[in-house]
Amino acid sequence: MVTDILLAPPIAFGIFLLISFTIDRVGDRIASDRADAGEAFRTAWASGEEPPSGQGRPRYRLYHVGIGFTIIHVAVLLVATIPIDANGVLLGVPLLAVVGLALFAIVEGGRPQPGR
């Protein structure tokens, strides 16, 4: 009976909100030694150091591959939840067609084109 009450969505949300707030406060207390460091810990380089010249720019050569895998995984999750009947086919085939077009656009957009 008590577990049913604790698993009710509003009660569970409140409990998790309280846990999250507690973790946030404890983390803020632990990290208070960094508060007086000024802007040193807010730079992009590790430990507040200035980045070496010429090495601070990231390269996104395989970014399109990661986005493609994300689209494929979301499509698999969607298709796995479609019911296996005629209505599922009516929903699944257009979904897979749109996913295929998206992947084609990502692959073609990731290739270097002459004149670009």
35 and 71: one domain? no
29 and 75: one domain? no
Neighbours of 110 (CB within 10 A): 14
Residue 95: CA count within 13 A, CB half-sphere: 17
| 105, part of any domain | yes
Range 66-95 average pLDDT = 89
Helices (H), the chain: 2-6, 9-30, 63-80, 86-110
Q: Is the pLDDT of residue 42 over 60?
A: no
| 51, part of any domain | no
Q: Is the pLDDT of residue 14 over 90?
A: yes
| 98, part of any domain | yes
39 and 76: one domain? no
| 11, part of any domain | yes
96: which 2 tokens?
């897979």
More confident residue, 112 or 24: 24
Residue 10: CA count within 13 A, CB half-sphere: 0
Cα–Cα distances in angstroms (integers) from residue 3 to residues 7, 9, 10, 14, in the given order: 6, 12, 13, 15
pLDDT at 20: 95
More confident residue, 40 or 81: 81
Predicted TM-score of the model (pTM) = 0.45
- Overall number of domains in the chain: 2
pLDDT at 101: 92
| 53, part of any domain | no
| 27, part of any domain | yes
Burial 62-86 (b: 16+ CB within 10 A, else e): eebeeebeebeeebeeeeeeeeeee
Q: Which domain does 87 fall in, by range?
A: 58-116
| 50, part of any domain | no
| 52, part of any domain | no
Band of residue 43 on the pLDDT scale cut at 50, 70, 90: low
